[in-house]
Amino acid sequence: MNRQMSPMDRANERRRQLELESYPRHSPAQTSGRTRSRASDETGGGTPEHFELSRRRFVELFGAGIAVGFLLPDAFSGPQESGGGRRRRRGTPEEISAWLHISEDGSVTVYTGKVEVGQNIRTSLAQAVAEELRVPFESIQMIMGDTDVVPYDRGTFGSQSTPRMGPQLRKVSAAARETLIDLAAEKWQTGREKLKAANGQVTNPETGKSLSYGQLTQGQKLVKTVDENQPLTPTQEWSVLGRSQAKVNGRAFVTGRHHYVSDMSLPGMLHGKVLRPPAYEATMRSLDTSKATAMEGVKVVRDGSFVGLTAPDAPTARAALDAIQAEWEIPEQPSRQEIFQYFKDNPVESRGWRGREPHVAGSVEDGLKAADQTLENTFHINYIAHVPLEPRAALARWENGKLTVWTGTQRPFGVRDELAEAFQMPVEKVRVIMPDTGSGYGGKHTGEAALEAARLAKSAGKPVKLVWTREEEFRWAYFRPGGVIEVRSGVTQEGRLTAWEFHNYNSGGSAIETLYQVPNQHIEFHPARSPLPQGSYRGLAATANHFAREVQMDEMARKLKIDPLKFRLRNLKDARLTAVLKRAAEVFRWTDRKAHKGRGCGIAGGFEKGGYIATCAEVSVTDGQVRVERLAAAFECGAVVNPVHLHNQVEGALIQGLGGALFEYIDFAEGKILNPRLSGYRVPRFSDTPQVEVAAINRKDLSSAGAGETPIVAVAPAVSNAIFDATGVRRRDLPMVPDGLQNSSPH
Amino acid sequence: MPRIKKLFVNEGEAAIDADPQQSLLEVLRDQAGLTGAKYGCGEGQCGACTVLVDGKPVRSCITPVEAAQGKPVTTIEGLAKDDGLHPLQEAFLQEDAFQCGYCTPGMILSASALLQQNAQPTRQEVVEFMNGNVCRCGTYPRILRAILRSAEPSTGGSQ
C-alpha cells in the first residue's frame, strides 16, 4: 500500500478489493485486474487465517473445563491461491473454525464467526449443539461475530452457515460428548460402551449412577480438536434438530430490550457525521468548515478525501454538517435511461467469476435449425437496494492503543482487517463485535460506518457513534446489480428443447445454467462496468437468471399450447426440481385453476445454493393495477433443521421478492441517486401481502442446505407468467409494473 | 422558544433538555435512554419509530418533542404492565412474527393502538391500519396472524 495515502483513502482502496472478494462489485474507479473469484469465497467456506488464540491463551481465557475446536479439513491447509503458500501443520490453532467450551458448572459456550441478521442462525446452530452434546437447548450460549474471541470466519453469506457451520458444530459437540463419556468411564472404572449421555449428564443404566457434565468437567483442562471424520447422530434419530424452536432471544426483541449497534452508547460518547459528495466520482473543489468548527464541541476531521466531524449530540452534529460548505466537480456519468446499452457497450475482463467461462454444449445454430419454434427475447434488470431497516451503524472506541468497533456487518473479520489496514496496526489490536443486527440481505458485507466511526474516534480521543441516515444507506452502500439478459431458444412441436442460448450482461453468473435438458447450449456471463456501486444481494443474480429462463420457458409453452407445468416436466430429468414443481402445483391446486377475467396464474422453479424452489402465483389485474393475490411455494433444502424458521424464511423471501418483481428500482442520473428515500422507493407492505402457502419438503436422507436466499428466485418469473395469463401482456423487465400495467417499465 | 425539560414516559417522568423542534424519537433514544423505538427512514414512512402519545400511534421521527409535552408517551419498554408481556408481545412470540426484529417494537405499538380502538378488527382493517409499518424481512403474514390472534376474545384481547 502506498504510504502517502491517508488512512481513509487507504481504507477506501482496500475496501474496494474486499468487496470484490465477497462478490463481484464494480465501481467506475476500479480496474478490472483486481477482480477476484467469488466462487472461491462461497464454495471454500472460509480460508482459515491466523487464529491468534494459542492453546495456552485459550485455557487462560476460559479457565478450566473442556474445549473442543473444529479442525478444518486438509483441503484448506494447502497453499493459498494468493500465492502466499501459507502451509499449516495439522493441529495448530489457525486451522480451527469453531470452538465449544464446557465449564466446570456445566454451562456450554459456543464460539463462531457466523453472525445473526434475522436468518435465525443463532437458534439453529444452538440446536445443532444441543442435538449432539445431549444438553437442554436453553443451556447453550452462542458467542458470535466477536473477532477477539471467535475463530476466524470469512463471513455470513452464500447460505453457508447451515451446510458448513452446522455440521462443524455438530462434530465438535459430538466429540465433546464422547470425551465426557470417557471421563465418566474412567471415574467409574467401567467400559464406556454401556454409558449413555443425555440431558447434560452421563448415566450408567446398570448401576443407575449418573454424573452431570459439570461434575465431569471439574478440574479438567482439556483442549481437543476434531475433524471431518467425527461421526454424527443420523438425521432419523434427531430430537432437537428437525423440530421447531422459537428464536433463542425472542423476548428481547418484542420488549425492545435487544440492543442493536444503533442503540448502544458509551460514557463520553460523541456523535459522528460524514460529509458526502453530491454524486459518485465527485471531486472536491473547495471546502469551508469554519462555521462548523466555530460551533461548541464540534471538531472537524479532514483526512484525504474524507471529511467528517464529531459533536456532543446528534442535533449539533447535524447542524455542523449543514454548516459545512463544499464545492464539487462531477464528471459525466451514465443515467438509468441508457444503462442497458451501457452494460453491453462496456465489458470488463474479469477472470474467475462464476459463469464467466461460457458453458457450451453442441451447437446452438444446429439446435435452432432442428426446432419447430424459435423464440428470442431480451430482459432488463434494474438496480435495486437492500433497504435493511437498520441502516449501517458503528460505535468505535480507542483504548490503550486498541481499537474496538461494534458494527452490523456480515463480515466482522473482513471489517477488522480493513480497520487494521487503514490504521496500519496489527489485527490483534483491532476488535470488531457484531451484535445481532437489523438485517442485511447481502447488503452489509462492508464496514464503511466502522471505518468512519474509528477515524473520528481517533481524532476525538473519545468513543464515537455514527449511524447512517436512510439516504446515506441508499446512496453510499451498494446495490443489487442491474443487467441485460438475451435468450434464444428452440423447441420441437412436441415440446422438447433443442437449443438454448443465454447471455447475461452484468447482473451476475449465479444460477445461470439451466437444469432443463437441452442438447445444444451456449450460456455466458459478461461482466460489465457498473456506474453504480454494486454487490451481493439475497440470491445474488439467481433472481435475474431465473426470471429470464423461466419466462422464456413459459413463452415457449404458451406458443406450443402446452401447460407450462407439463412443458417443464417434459424437459426435466432432475428429480428434486421435478418434486418441488409438482408439490408447489399441488399446494396451489394448479390443475384446478379456472380462467377468470383479469385473473391469471403462473409457475416457475429452479435451483440455487443447494436448495430447490418452485413458486406458483395468482394475480389480479384491475384498471392496470397488478395485485399478487396468492403465492404457493415448495422448497427443498435437504433435511429440515427448524421447520418454523424455515417457513418464516421462505415466506419472507417470497414477499421481499415481490418488491423487486413488481416495483422496486433505483433511479439515477449523472452519478446521483434520484430516489434515495423510502418515500421514493417502494418496498412491499401489508397491502401488498398475498395469501402465502409454503410446503417444505423434508429430505432426511440429504444434508441440510441454507434457506435464506434460494426461495426468492422464482417469485418474479411466476408473477410475470401469471400477468401474461391474466392479460396477454408479457413483462420481461424487472421491476415489471412500477406504475401499473398500462405504463411501461421504468426504461 | 424555551427548551423542554421533562416528558411523561411509560407512567413516569423523564428529565430531558431538548429544543422543542427536536424529534421525539431522538429525545427518547438519546436522552431518556429508551432505545426501543428505532430510526428507519426519518420521514415517517416505515413505522419503526412508532410510539404512543396519548394512546395514539405517532411516527416519533417526524414528531417534534413539543407535541408530546405534557402528554403520556408509551414506548415498547412500557407497554406491558409489571414484568409480564403484553398479549401482543406474547402473540408475536407464538407466531414467530419477526426475523431481525428491528421493526417489531413499532409493529407492536401500532397494533396495540389498533386493538385499543377496535378490539376485533377484520383482516382488512388490520392491513389498512398497519400499512405504514414496514417489515423488510417480509413477515407480514405472521404479524397479521399475531395481531388477529391477540384480538381473539379467548386470549383476552388488548389490555
Closest CA to B52 of B27, B78, B29: B78
pLDDT of residue A595: 84
Q: What is the DSSP letter of B29?
A: I
| Residue-averaged pLDDT of chain A | 89
Q: Which residues of A touch B35 (CB under 8 A)?
A: 256, 259, 262-263
Mutate to test the interface with B, among A120, A245, A253 (most CBs of B within 10 A): A253
pLDDT score recorded for residue A740: 85
The pLDDT value given to residue A84: 31
Helix (H, G, I), strand (E, B) or coil at A79: coil
Poorest-pLDDT segment among A131-135, A356-360, A434-438, B102-106: A356-360
Interchain pair A470, B43: CB under 8 A: yes
Per-residue pLDDT for A549 more than 90?
Answer: yes
Q: For A390, which of B42, B102, B142 is closest by C-beta distance?
A: B102
The pLDDT tens digits of the residues spanning A185-197 come to 999 999 999 999 9
Answer yes or no: are the C-beta atoms of A9 and A306 closer than 8 Å.
Answer: yes
A656/B137 CB distance under 8 A: yes
| Residues in CB range of A343: below 8 A, 6 or more apart | A482, A483, A484, A505, A506, A528, A529, A530
Q: Do the Cβ atoms of A263 and B101 come within 8 Å?
A: no
**Hey, are the CB atoms on A246 and B130 less than 8 Å from each other?**
no
Task: Please report which confidence band the pLDDT of residue B67 belongs to, taking 50, 70 and 90 as the band edges.
Answer: very high
Residue A39 has a CB neighbour count (10 Å cut-off) of 16
pLDDT digits (tens, 9 = 90+) for A93-129: 457 788 899 999 999 999 999 999 999 999 999 999 9
Is A645 in the B-facing interface, judged by CB distances under 8 Å?
yes
Chain B residue numbers touching A317 (CB-CB < 8 A)? none
Residue A360, pLDDT above cutoff 60: yes
Is residue A40 pLDDT above 90, yes or no? no
pLDDT band for position A176 (cuts 50, 70, 90): very high
Instruction: Report DSSP letters for A352-385, one per residue.
Output: T-TT-S-EEES-HHHHHHT-SEEEEEEEEE--B-
ipTM over 0.90 threshold: yes
Residues of A within 8 A of B85 (CB-CB) are 251, 254-255
| Contact list, A250 vs chain B (CB under 8 Å) | 93, 96, 98
Closest CA to A76 of A53, A102, A103, A51: A51
Contacts of B75 in chain A (CB under 8 A): 256
Residues in A 541-600 with any Cβ partner in B closer than 8 A: none
Residue A371, pLDDT above cutoff 80:
yes
Model confidence over A280-301: pLDDT tens digits?
999 999 999 999 999 999 999 9
In angstroms, rounded to a whole number, what is the distance separating the alpha carbons of residues A260 and A559?
A: 53
User: Taking CB atoms and an 8 Å limit, are B128 and A687 in contact across chains?
Assistant: yes
Other CB atoms within 10 Å distance of the CB of residue B7? 26
Residues in chain B within 8 Å Cβ distance of A261:
none
Q: Report yes or no: A258 at the B interface, CB cutoff 8 Å.
A: yes
In 3D space, the residue among A424, A379, A326, A337 whose CA is nearest the CA of residue A716 turns out to be A379
Asked if the Cβ–Cβ distance from B134 to A246 is below 8 Å, we say no
Position A325 scores a pLDDT of 97
Rounded to two decimals, what is the model's pTM? 0.92
Q: Which residue, A689, A565, A579, is CA-closest to A616? A: A565
Q: Give the gap in angstroms from C-alpha A247 to the nearest C-alpha of chain B.
A: 7
Which has the minimum average pLDDT: A1-15, A317-331, A698-712, A720-734? A1-15
Locate the chain A residue with the closest alpha carbon to B131. A686
CB pairs A-B closer than 8 Å? 163
The counts of H helices and E strands in chain A are: 19, 29
Task: Report the range of poorest mean pLDDT among A52-56, A271-275, A476-480.
Answer: A52-56
- Out of A43-52, A230-239, A457-466, A589-598, pick the least confident: A43-52
- What are the E-state strand segments in A599-690? 599-608, 611-622, 625-636, 668-669, 672-673
Whether the pLDDT of residue B35 is over 50: the answer is yes
Among the partner-chain residues A254, A439, A686, the one whose CB lies closest to the CB of B131 is A686
Element (H, E) at A55: helix A55-62
